[in-house]
Amino acid sequence: MIGVKGLSRRVVITGMGALTPVGNDKDAFWSNLLKGVSGVGRITRFDPTDFSTQIAGEVKDFDPAQFMDKKEAKRMDRVTQFAIAASKMAIEDSGLDLDAMDRARIGTCIGTGIGGVETLHDQYKTLFDKGPGRVSPFFVPMMIANMPAGQVSIMFGLQGPNTCIVTACATGTNCIGEAFRAIQRGDADVMVAGGTEAAVSQIAVAGFCSMKALSTRNDEPTKASRPFDKDRDGFVMGEGAGVVVLETLESALARGAKIYAELIGYGTNADAYHITAPAPEGIQAGRCMQLAIDDAGLKPEEVDYVNAHGTSTPLNDKNETLAIKRIFGEHAKNMKVSSIKSMTGHLLGAAGAIELIASVLTVQQDIIPPTINYETTDEELDLDYVPNEARKAVVNVAISNSFGFGGHNATLVVRKYK
């Protein structure tokens, strides 16, 4: 297979770690997705009484001490703790023996859309209440967006490419896509890649509330996120992390690794339109999907399933539907489309990573997670959104979409490994 720029190294997924509002590991996450379980509830990280939106998809019962030293954990923002937890689970799942490998050939690409915003909030309060001398010396390294990737690299001694991509809600997808490219180019043989987010904080929620971007269905939190439903009224914030281990097929076969699926295509482009609104008619979003499909060397009709960005906002869901119909034509009627944000909420910079994990498991197990809370058909949205119940179906190829503020678009393509 020859992808973009003549790159030909085959890349497979051998490990996955997920920390989400519906499960604190990959298996719990997947099991609850298939059951249609919502992880959305009233915010507990702070008192949300004065906020127009009082709900979010929070990670429950997370103990960083299960994954790292307690002293070190105190020197990390929650966003970095999440990244380390998901990375440790992914590496363990992959069966990598790091001591037996050349760590200079193992890289890291983990991003976050917002970074250590909780630390920023807390330290600003310290500054104004107690003065500059009381601001933590760990403030900057706890807050900056590259630190999840940096800390994962340090903890596991990964000495290959170490990068962090920040593209808002496309972050996790771009990070995995660029890690894919790094392996294809020959810059690394293994990459630990994904996204992390911990933005359920007063300042971030207040900002999104002011934008009128969030659902205000506070009295029915589990029904608030309803992608593609006519009564959708905004997205629901979520938090967590998703990390995958990518490696060359040659490396995976040499060590007898289990292979979940093959990553075969990546596309990314820009709307070049507006800071928050998607471009009309989903033209560039569709082009992004086409770039990824072309990179994979496929025809559109070979795609069986779209794990949609599906945010539960009026414009996104409409434009993504139009984009799918534009690229897939008549085949769009035969495809399955679903959004796990209906259950997890929107994990912002981590969304694309956990959604790729769901796509990989869909391809591996031939079962599609549903779009829950789909109750009222929107006449403009006429695809098969796999409403309310998981569905068994042969899925040889799946794509996963992510579209971020600033007009960032990214799509990944995975295929059954044969």
Please work out, in degrees rounded to the nearest 5, the angle formed at the alpha carbon of residue 175 by the alpha carbons of 172 and 177.
110
Task: Say if residue 107 is in the same domain as residue 167.
Answer: yes
Range of the domain at 105: 8-254
- Would residue 182 count as lying in a domain? yes
How does 289-316 read in b/e, with b if 16+ C-beta sit within 10 Å?
bbbbbbbbebebeebbbbbbbbbbbeeb
Q: Are 337 and 324 in contact (CB under 8 A)?
A: yes
- Would residue 3 count as lying in a domain? no
Task: Say if residue 134 is in the same domain as residue 155.
Answer: yes
- From 231, 254, 277, the end of a domain falls on 254
Residue 418: predicted pLDDT: 87
- In single-letter form, the type of residue at position 279 comes to A
The angle, 0 to 180 degrees and rounded to 10, between the axes of the packed helices 171-185 and 351-365 is 70
First CA to last CA distance, the chain = 13
- Would residue 259 count as lying in a domain? no
Residue 129: predicted pLDDT: 96
Residue 7: predicted pLDDT: 61
Does this model's pTM top 0.85? My answer is yes
Torsion angle (degrees, nearest 10) of CA 285, 290, 295, 296: 110
Task: Say if residue 282 is in the same domain as residue 332.
Answer: yes
- From 254, 282, 299, the end of a domain falls on 254
- Would residue 418 count as lying in a domain? no
Nearest of 301, 280, 287, 313 to residue 401 by alpha carbon = 287
Task: Say if residue 238 is in the same domain as residue 289.
Answer: no
- Would residue 151 count as lying in a domain? yes
- Catalytic residue, chosen from 164, 209, 309, 408, is 309
Please state, as a whole number, how many other Cβ atoms lie within 10 Å of the Cβ of residue 97: 8
- Catalytic residue, chosen from 164, 209, 346, 408, is 346
Task: Say if residue 27 is in the same domain as residue 147.
Answer: yes
Please work out, in degrees rounded to the nearest 5, the angle formed at the alpha carbon of residue 282 by the alpha carbons of 393 and 377.
55
Spatial distance between the Cα atoms of 141 and 65, rounded to a whole number of angstroms? 20
- Catalytic residue, chosen from 169, 175, 209, 288, is 169
CATH code of the domain in which 387 resides: 3.40.47.10
> Tokens in use for 324?
């799918």
> Tokens in use for 37?
């379980």
Taking only the tens place, the pLDDT of each residue in 211-263 is 999 999 999 999 999 999 999 999 999 999 999 999 999 999 999 999 999 99
β partners of residue 270 = 408
Q: Are 255 and 102 in contact (CB under 8 A)?
A: no
Q: Are 249 and 395 in contact (CB under 8 A)?
A: no
> Tokens in use for 114?
């917002």
Task: Say if residue 328 is in the same domain as residue 373.
Answer: yes
Q: Residues 398, 298, 348, 222: is their CA dihedral positive or negative?
A: negative
- Would residue 260 count as lying in a domain? no
> Tokens in use for 247?
């490696």
Task: Say if residue 358 is in the same domain as residue 398.
Answer: yes
Nearest of 166, 151, 173 to residue 289 by alpha carbon = 173
Q: Are 18 and 26 in contact (CB under 8 A)?
A: yes
Residue stretches of the chain with pLDDT short of 50: 1-6
> Tokens in use for 91?
């590496």
Q: Are 376 and 226 in contact (CB under 8 A)?
A: no
Please work out, in degrees rounded to the nearest 5, the angle formed at the alpha carbon of residue 182 by the alpha carbons of 180 and 183.
70
Task: Say if residue 167 is in the same domain as residue 289.
Answer: no
Spatial distance between the Cα atoms of 279 and 268, rounded to a whole number of angstroms? 15
Task: Say if residue 213 is in the same domain as residue 280.
Answer: no
Task: Say if residue 243 is in the same domain as residue 274.
Answer: no
Spatial distance between the Cα atoms of 358 and 92, rounded to a whole number of angstroms? 18
- Would residue 1 count as lying in a domain? no
Spatial distance between the Cα atoms of 329 and 67, rounded to a whole number of angstroms? 47
- Would residue 79 count as lying in a domain? yes
Q: Is residue 309 annotated as a catalytic residue, yes or no?
A: yes
Task: Say if residue 156 is in the same domain as residue 247.
Answer: yes
Q: Is residue 175 annotated as a catalytic residue, yes or no?
A: no
Phi, psi of 392 (to 5 degrees): -75, 135
Domain count, the chain: 2
Task: Say if residue 162 is in the same domain as residue 274.
Answer: no
- From 193, 222, 254, the end of a domain falls on 254
Residue recorded with tokens 């506070």: 218
Percent of the chain residues past pLDDT 90, beyond the cut: 96
Spatial distance between the Cα atoms of 196 and 306, rounded to a whole number of angstroms? 22
